Amino acid sequence: MIELEGVPELIDPVMVAAFEGWNDAGDAASAAVAHLDREWKGEVFAALDAEDYYDFQVNRPTVFLDGGVRKITWPTTRLSVVRVADSDGKGRPRDLVLVRGIEPSMRWRSFCNEILGFAHELGVEMLVVLGALLGDTPHTRPVPVSGVTSDADLAGRLDLEESRYEGPTGIVGILQEACTHAGVPAVSLWAAVPHYVSQPPNPKASLALLNRLEDLLDIRIPLGELSEDARAWQLGVDQLAAEDSEVAEYVQSLEEARDTAELPEASGEAIAREFERYLRRRDPQAGPGVATEGGLTDGRDGSYLRDTTSGRTRPPRPAPKEPREPRPVEDAGKPSGDPADTEGPKDGGAPESTGPRDQADAPDAPGPTDAGKHDDGSEDTGPTGP
């Protein structure tokens, strides 16, 4: 039995987990959980024994100096708790149990059982695992995020996809399956990272995961400088792509395929959902730094709106300085030329497959690449498709 000391009774706790390695393309998922821990000042209350789960030749310990004294940090998985004092803008508190570590090298079933033991002792109501995969998606468009579960009832209630994936899996897929057998509701959120810019960090993908987590749990997440980091990341990739005509042409082809795949999703329900999110984020109680991916950064005049036609940000149109002249009667039926203000990002679901890298139809357990794959499954190259 797990004994927890110094952990208060939690309020409606939800466990949010992410693991570095194979299920963490661009370090997007682990960076998202690290952001939650940093913004809400998480307090670590437990750590799994590194000797039980890690091959130190694969995940090596690091040495550092602390006041002139040499110390060692061992690769492991740590659990911390954060309290969201005003989770819904109405003063209702809620607790999150954050699990952040490295995909284990061995004893995966024991690893998952230990995580579930903590979940049981803490009264966790649901477990959400964040992941990121490589896909044929352009960096200029909003990052697709898919929500997947093995529970048909949960899928219908939370508007998630029911998993249909078959193939090799990582610790995210194993942990979600363990939750299913243990009767713990579990959801995995997957962000698609452009395979041609797979190196970490990828703040735009981390931001997209946090936006989807915010919607899933109906909480408000302070984003700090993450929105600005995501914008700077995209501008940097834009500059690199502009220097290579072949890359620029390839990105354009991905944009066209993405836009074609998403065209049927421009439904009234999707637009209403995005407008609802926009209104929620405009609430002054949300405070500065609460924003959507590429959307409002804060309440100042320098805030930006998302331009869904290009995936970039654009400044809001200034208010006219003086009233316009009345339009003649004969011109009343002509369009004014202003773009529609109701356009917004689509629902974050993953687009149709646009290339050979997409290997399955549900992203709960991405498939690995052949390069550098060890027999024990310990290579951290990142998945190449859902």
Per-residue pLDDT for 298 more than 90? no
Beta strands 94-102; 14-20: pairing state: parallel
Q: Bigger pLDDT: 271 or 300?
A: 271
pLDDT, residue 364, reads 46
- As a whole number of angstroms, the distance between CA 379 and CA 105 comes to 9
Task: List pLDDT tens digits, range 68-90.
Answer: 999 999 999 999 999 988 766 67
pLDDT, residue 266, reads 52
Provide mean pLDDT across the span 315-337. Answer: 42
pLDDT, residue 61, reads 94
Reported residue count of the chain is 386
Q: Bigger pLDDT: 154 or 190?
A: 190
- As a whole number of angstroms, the distance between CA 169 and CA 30 comes to 18
Average model confidence (pLDDT) for the chain?
Answer: 76
Task: List pLDDT tens digits, range 197-221.
Answer: 999 999 999 999 999 999 999 888 9
pLDDT, residue 291, reads 39
Task: List pLDDT tens digits, range 150-161.
Answer: 888 889 888 899
Asked if residues 255 and 138 have their Cβ atoms less than 8 Å apart, the reply is yes
Provide mean pLDDT across the span 143-149. Answer: 94
Q: Is the dihedral of CA 65, 67, 68, 69 positive or negative?
A: negative
Tokens 């959507």 correspond to: 292
pLDDT, residue 3, reads 54
Neighbours of 377 (CB within 10 A): 18
Asked if residues 143 and 80 have their Cβ atoms less than 8 Å apart, the reply is no
In Å, what is the CA distance from 162 to each residue of 30, 109, 156, 159, 184? 24, 23, 9, 9, 16
Strands (E), the chain: 14-20, 43-47, 62-66, 69-73, 78-84, 94-102, 126-135, 145-149, 161-162, 186-194, 305-307, 312-314
Cα 262–chain centre separation? 19
> 0.85 exceeded by the pTM?
no
pLDDT, residue 137, reads 92
